[in-house]
Structure 1
Amino acid sequence: MRSLQPSSSQINELRKTTVELENRVNPLQERIAWLQGLLQQSNPSLKDIDSIPTGQAVTLPRAVGTNPLPPSPISLHEFVANAYPQSSTSPPPTSTHPSLPSYDTALKLAHTYLNYHCQTHHVIDQEEIEDDINKVYRENGLTAEELSASRFRVFSVMYLEMMGGADNDPTVQTCRSLAINEVKNVIRGQDLVAVQSLVFLCRFAIREPGGIGLWQLAGMAARTALALRLHRRDDVYKQGFLNPDEVDWRQNEKRKNIFWAVYNLDRLATFVLNQPPSIRDCDVDVDLPSVTPSYGNRLPVSDTAIRNHSLRLRMLYGKIQEAIYGVSVKDDRPLEERTQMVCNFVHQVDGWYRASPLKADFVPISDATVNRQLLDDISYQQMMLALHRPSSLIPEIPSEYVDKLLDAATKSITLYQHYFSRKEIPMTWIHLFQIYTSSVTLVKCFSEFRRRSGHQSASLAEFETRIGQCRDLLAQFGTKWPESQLYQVMFGNLIELYNAESELAAHKIHNILVAPSTTTTTEAIDPAFHEFLGGFCGVGTELGTCPSFASSSLDSSSPLGFLKTLGVDGFDRSSW
C-alpha cells in the first residue's frame, strides 16, 4: 500500500512556502500596527480599534488631527476654485452630450496638443491622456467622482487645442465648462495632480483674459511643487516616500517634467511681468528631463531637446532679472564694470542662440523648423531689449545702447509681422506684451536720437513706418480681446507725449489712430517710458500710474481685470 506520508522534498517545499508567506505577512502586520497607532494618536476614541469588527462602520469625532502636509498653501483651494465657478447644471451622459467632441476627435486633439505643447510645458504624456480619454468616454465617464482628474485633463487639453478657432464654437465652450467644473476637485490636495492642474490653469491664463493672472497661478504651482520636493535630486525626492523603491522611472520622469514646466512658467512671468521669481535657482538640483519619444512634431529633433533648450533660456531670464533689474542692484560701480556685466550676459544669450538643436548641421530647413526658429529669434531680440534698456544697473544708458535697442526692437516687430502673416502665432498675453514693449522701445529710441547731441539723426519717415507697424500689430489683438485695446490707448498716449516734447513740428507724428488722452502732459519721455513698461526699468513704478492716462478712456471693469490678468495689481485707480 502506498504511504500517505509526505516526502522530504514536499516538506521542504512547504517550509519554503511558509517562510515566503511569513516574509510577506510580517511587513503587512507591522504596517497595520503603525497605521493603527497613527489613528489612535489622532483619534483617542479609537484606542480600542483592535476590538472593533472588521467592516463595522465607525463614527469619528468632527475634530480633525494635525496633517503634516496641509491640503493647500495660502488657501489655494478656495482662492482658485472661487475664481473658476462651476456650472450649475450636471453634464449629461457622454453618448447624449450635444457639444462633446467624438472619441476619435478627442484622440486627434490630444495628439495635436502633445505635438506642440510638449516642447515647452510637458506635464502629460500620450499614454496618460489616452487612458484618460478612454475613461471619460466610457459609461458614467462624465459623472464618476473618481474620474475628476481625468475629466479635467481631457477637457483642458481639448479646450487649449481648440480655443484658437471660432469664439462662439459651442464645443470649445463645452470643453472649457467641463474642465472648470473639476477645478476644486483637482487642486484639493497637495500632490502631483494639483501641480499638474495648476500648470494647465497657467496655460488658461496665458491664452484668455480674466481670472487669476499667470504670476499668481505659477507662484501657487511653484510653492506646491517645492512642498513636494519636486525640485530636488532623485535620492532626496524619494525620501518622502515610505518605500523609495516604489518610485519607478516613469513616475520620476513625470515629476521632473511637471517641475520644469512650473519653472518655465515661473521664469516667464518673472521676465515678462517684471515680478520676483517663486523658485530660486540655488534651491534646484533636479536633473533636466531625460530624452522622451517624439510625438510627431514634424521636427527632426526630439521634443526633449527643444524643451531643454527653452529651459536654458528661462534660466537666463532669472539671472538677468536678478543681476540687472533687482531692487537691491546699485549703480555705484564704474560704468565700464557695469557695461561689462551686460556684455557677459550678451555672450551667454549668443551662446544659447547658437546652441539651438535646430541649428545642427543635420537639421534640414522646412516650414516646421522655420516656424519653431522664429520663436527663438523673437526670444533673442527680447533678451537684447532687456539687456540694454534703462535698468537698476544702468539707469542712464550710453548712446551705443540706443542703437542696440533700436535694432532689437525693429527686428522684433519685423519678426512678429512675419509671424502674423503666416498665421503661426497664438493670441496670447505674452506676445501682446512683447509687441507692446518693443513698440514703446522704438519711441524711446527715436526720442533719444533727437535729443542726444552728436548722435545719428533719425528718419521721420522710418519712424512713422515703424509706428504704423506697431499699431497694426497691437490692433490684431483688439478684435479677439477688447481688453487689449488699453494697450493701443497707452501707445497712443505715448506718441502724444513724444509730439508734445518735440520742438519742431516736422518731428511730430500725425494720424494717431487711437483717441489720445485729453489730460496728456508735457512730461519728458524718460519717466513715461519707465511707467509704460510697468516698472521694467527698475524705478519701482507700476503699469497704470502714469498721470497722463485719461480715466475716461478706461472701462470701469475690464482694464482692471486685464491688468490683474497680467499680474499688475495693488494700484489706486484714482491716480490715473
Structure 2
Amino acid sequence: MMLRNAIQLQTARRTVATSQQPDPAGSIADIIDDLDSAFLTLPKREAAARLTKVYFQFANSSQPVLFEPTFHSHLDSLYSLPMTIDLGRSHDTKDIQLTVFVVLEVFAVALLVLQKQDPSKMSTSLPDRYHRVALMALDHTGLPPGIQGVQFLLLESQYCYHHSETLTVWSTVGAALRLAVEIGLHKDPIEEMSATDLDVRRRVFWTAYAMDRNISIARNLPTCLADGAISVEFPSVLSDNVIAKQKPGESAQQNIDGADSNTSKAKLVCLHVLRWRRLQSEMQTVLHQQAPLGYAPIDIERWQHDAQHRIMEWYKDLPRTSTFDPNERRIIENFDLTYHRAMLYLYQPSPNWLNPTEAAWLKILDAAENMVRLYRKFFEEKRFTIYWQAVEGLSAAGTALLNAYSRSSSVKERITLSVLRELVQTCSNVLWGMVSLFPSFKARRESFDEYVAAKLQELEATPSKDSDIPPGISFEHHHVNAVDPFTTGLLPPDDHVDSGAMPVQPDDNVMHDWTDFEQAAFDWDALDNTVDFIPDTWN
C-alpha cells in the first residue's frame, strides 16, 4: 500500500470511490475506512518477542530502519495499554497512534518473512490486514516530520519490499529518499550530537539509498539521488546497545579495535551490502546513462577492467572470520550469488556496451552458470525472502545464457547446445517452483518460457557440429532431466499448477486476530539457532 500523496510526503486520505465497481485504471481503492478493525488484538508478549526477533534478524539487519532499543520502548508502551481497545481507531493521541503504526508494521513485516518460510502455513491475508490497520493509525496523525517521517516511509517500503505481490515500493522509497535529502541526511551534521542520533541519521539515509538503488536497477527506473551529492559516512558496526551508551563525539571505530564482543556481525555484513550498492550504482550510471554534456565518453573496456578488480576486492574482503558459526558462514555464502550477479551485470549488453567482446561473453557464461546453480540451491534450501528479486535474477541468468550462446563462437566452443538447454530448463523449473508458492509470478515465468522456446527453436534450426539435439524439437517444461520439479519437491504433482487459474484472493471482511498466527506451527527452535541472519535482499 502507498501512503497518501507520497509526492508531498503526507498521508492525506484518498478519494473514496463512489461506485461499487473496481477502478478500470487499476488504482488502489481506499479500503482503510471499510475495514472492520473492532477488537483487533495484540499477540501474547512471548509471540510479540518472537516476531520482534524475526524482524530485527531477517529485515532490519540488512535494512536498518529502526534503532532496536527505541522500538522496544514503543513495544512496552503499547503493551501497557488496555488490550480491549480498538487499535485502529480509538486512540486519540498522536504518540499512541504512531506507536501503533510502528509496532503493527514491524509485526506485519515479520509475518511476511515467516510466510516465506512455508506459505502453506499462512497466507498473506493476515500480514496484509495488520499492515492496513497500521496505515489506518498513521492516517489519523499524518506523516511525522524529520527523521521519523523517513523511517515510517521506509518501514512501509519494507513491507512492500518483502511482499510477493506488492511491487509499488519504488515510489515510497523515492519519497523517503527525497525527504532524507530535504532534511540533510545525505551529509553528516556539523553540530555535535549523541552517538545514537548520529547513527540513526546515517543508517536511515543509507537504508533509503540502498533500497532506492536496488529497486530502481531491478525495475529499470531512474534513481532519486546522484552519488556525487552524498558525503555522509556509513553507520556504525557496533551493536545498538553499545551505541546507546556512547558519549557525544566518541568515535565508534576506536571502540571496535580489540572489542569484537561489541561489534554486531550483522552490521559488518550490512556495511558490505552498502559497499556493493555503491558499486551497483556506479555500474548502472556508466553502462545505462548518457555522459553529461561537456564530458568525454568513458572507455568502457578500461573501466570494466577496473570495476572487475574492485568487485573482486569487495568479494575478498567479505567477513570470513573463524569465529563465525555454521549459520553465519551460510550467510556469507549468499554473497557468492551477489558476486556472480555483479559480474553478469558488468559485462552483459547494455545501452553503452552493445557488443561485448568474446572474452566478455565467456565471463557472462561463467557468471550465469553459477547464478543458475546458486538460485536452484538457495530455492531448495528456502533461503529466499525477496522472491520478486529472485525471479528477476534467475530470468536474467537464463536470458544471458541464450544470448551468449547465440552471439559468441567462444561460448559455443565452451558448452554444447544440450548443456545450454539443460541450464535454461533448470531456470524454468525453479521459476515453476516459485510460481507454485507465489502465483503472482506466473506471467513473468510464462514470458521467460516463451522467450526460451523461441530462442531454442532458432538455435536448433541450425545445429552446430557439437549439438546432439535434432532440429525442430520445441522447448517443453518437463522434457529435460535437468531438475524435475515433481521429483525434487519444487512443485506439487497437481494439475492446477498449469491451469492458469489465479489464486483465491483473501476476504478482507473475515476477521483475523493473532490466534491465527499463534496456531501456525513455525519452527521457532530453528529460528532461535539462527544468529544475525541477512536474507537475499542485496542480490
TM-score by length of 2: 0.71
Q: For residues 482-561 of structure 1, what are the structure 2 equivalents within 5 Å?
A: 482-502=439-459, 503-504=461-462, 506=470, 510-513=474-477
Q: Secondary structure at the match of 1:181?
A: helix
Q: Secondary structure at the match of 1:343?
A: helix
Question: In the TM superposition, what whole-angstrom CA distance separates every residue of 1:410-444 from its partner, at most 9, and x where no partner exists?
Answer: 10111111111212221431121111111111111
Q: Secondary structure at the match of 1:347?
A: helix
**Distance change >3 Å, CA 168–CA 496, structure 1 → 2:** closer
Match of 2:350 in 1: 391
Question: In the TM superposition, what whole-angstrom CA distance separates every residue of 1:452-493 from its partner, at most 9, and x where no partner exists?
Answer: 489516312212211221012111221333221111211122
Q: Quick one: distance in 1 between partners of 2:282 and 2:141?
A: 33
> Which of 106, 111, 123 lines up with 1:162 in the alignment?
111
**Distance change >3 Å, CA 262–CA 454, structure 1 → 2:** closer
Higher normalized contact order (CA 8 Å, seq sep 6+, divided by chain length): 2
Q: Determine if the alignment matches structure 1 residue 256 to structure 2 residue 202.
A: yes
**Retained in 1: the 8 A contact 2:5–2:11?**
no
Match of 1:180 in 2: 135
Q: Quick one: distance in 2 between partners of 1:294 and 1:420?
A: 32
Question: In the TM superposition, what whole-angstrom CA distance separates every residue of 1:268-294 from its partner, at most 9, and x where no partner exists?
Answer: 123322222212222111121123317
**Distance change >3 Å, CA 234–CA 101, structure 1 → 2:** same
Residue 314 (structure 1) shift: 0.4
Match of 1:115 in 2: 57
Q: Secondary structure at the match of 2:145?
A: coil
> Which of 269, 289, 310 lines up with 1:348 in the alignment?
310
Q: Quick one: distance in 1 between partners of 2:297 and 2:472?
A: 37
Q: Quick one: distance in 1 between partners of 2:211 and 2:13?
A: 17
Give the count of matched residue pairs. 427
Q: Secondary structure at the match of 1:129?
A: helix
**Distance change >3 Å, CA 454–CA 158, structure 1 → 2:** closer
Question: In the TM superposition, what whole-angstrom CA distance separates every residue of 1:362-397 from its partner, at most 9, and x where no partner exists?
Answer: 344513321x12321111111101111112332111
**Retained in 2: the 8 A contact 1:107–1:130?**
no
Q: Quick one: distance in 2 between partners of 1:418 and 1:212?
A: 25
If you compute each CA radius of gyration, which structure gives the higher value, 1 or 2? 1
**Distance change >3 Å, CA 509–CA 217, structure 1 → 2:** farther
**Retained in 2: the 8 A contact 1:206–1:430?**
no
Question: In the TM superposition, what whole-angstrom CA distance separates every residue of 1:92-146 from its partner, at most 9, and x where no partner exists?
Answer: 456xx3xx42122112211221123333111112222222222222225823232
Q: For residues 27-46 of structure 1, what are the structure 2 equivalents within 5 Å?
A: none
Q: For residues 212-291 of structure 1, what are the structure 2 equivalents within 5 Å?
A: 213-235=168-190, 238=191, 247-291=193-237
More moved, 261-270 vs 130-139: 130-139
Q: Secondary structure at the match of 1:394?
A: coil
**Retained in 2: the 8 A contact 1:270–1:318?**
no
Residue 409 (structure 1) shift: 0.7
Q: Quick one: distance in 2 between partners of 1:203 and 1:487?
A: 22
Match of 1:466 in 2: 423
Q: Quick one: distance in 2 between partners of 1:187 and 1:403?
A: 53
> Which of 139, 155, 162 lines up with 1:200 in the alignment?
155
**Distance change >3 Å, CA 404–CA 161, structure 1 → 2:** same
Unaligned 5+ segments in structure 1 are 1-70, 239-244, 515-552, 559-576
**Distance change >3 Å, CA 232–CA 508, structure 1 → 2:** farther
Q: Determine if the alignment matches structure 1 residue 136 to structure 2 residue 78.
A: yes
TM-score by length of 1: 0.67
Structure 2 counterpart of 1:320, one-letter code? M
Question: In the TM superposition, what whole-angstrom CA distance separates every residue of 1:226-283 from its partner, at most 9, and x where no partner exists?
Answer: 1111111121xx5xxxxxx7x5332222122111110110111233222222122221
Structure 2 counterpart of 1:206, one-letter code? Y
**Retained in 2: the 8 A contact 1:187–1:194?**
no
Q: Quick one: distance in 2 between partners of 1:328 and 1:186?
A: 44
**Distance change >3 Å, CA 312–CA 403, structure 1 → 2:** same
> Which of 304, 308, 321 lines up with 2:284 in the alignment?
321
Q: Quick one: distance in 1 between partners of 2:59 and 2:375?
A: 20
Match of 1:424 in 2: 383
Same amino acid, percent of matched pairs: 18
**Retained in 1: the 8 A contact 2:358–2:410?**
no
More moved, 456-465 vs 85-94: 85-94
Q: Quick one: distance in 1 between partners of 2:310 and 2:169?
A: 27
**Distance change >3 Å, CA 77–CA 376, structure 1 → 2:** same
Q: Quick one: distance in 2 between partners of 1:206 and 1:310?
A: 16
Q: Determine if the alignment matches structure 1 residue 376 to structure 2 residue 335.
A: yes
**Retained in 1: the 8 A contact 2:9–2:179?**
no
**Distance change >3 Å, CA 316–CA 507, structure 1 → 2:** farther
Q: Determine if the alignment matches structure 1 residue 126 to structure 2 residue 68.
A: yes
Q: Quick one: distance in 2 between partners of 1:120 and 1:464?
A: 36
> Which of 362, 371, 374 lines up with 1:415 in the alignment?
374
Residue 193 (structure 1) shift: 2.2
**Retained in 2: the 8 A contact 1:109–1:161?**
yes
Q: Secondary structure at the match of 1:77?
A: coil
Q: Quick one: distance in 2 between partners of 1:206 and 1:193?
A: 19
Residue 177 (structure 1) shift: 3.1
Q: Secondary structure at the match of 2:396?
A: helix
Q: Quick one: distance in 1 between partners of 2:269 and 2:45?
A: 30
CA RMSD of aligned residues (A): 3.4
**Retained in 1: the 8 A contact 2:402–2:455?**
yes
Q: Quick one: distance in 2 between partners of 1:78 and 1:364?
A: 44
Match of 1:152 in 2: 101
Q: Quick one: distance in 2 between partners of 1:289 and 1:262?
A: 13
Unaligned 5+ segments in structure 2 are 16-27, 116-120, 242-260, 464-469, 479-499, 506-539
Residue 500 (structure 1) shift: 4.2
> Which of 238, 242, 266 lines up with 1:292 in the alignment?
238
**Retained in 1: the 8 A contact 2:38–2:86?**
no
Q: Secondary structure at the match of 1:490?
A: helix
Q: Quick one: distance in 2 between partners of 1:486 and 1:170?
A: 22
Q: Quick one: distance in 1 between partners of 2:13 and 2:462?
A: 53
Structure 2 counterpart of 1:445, one-letter code? A
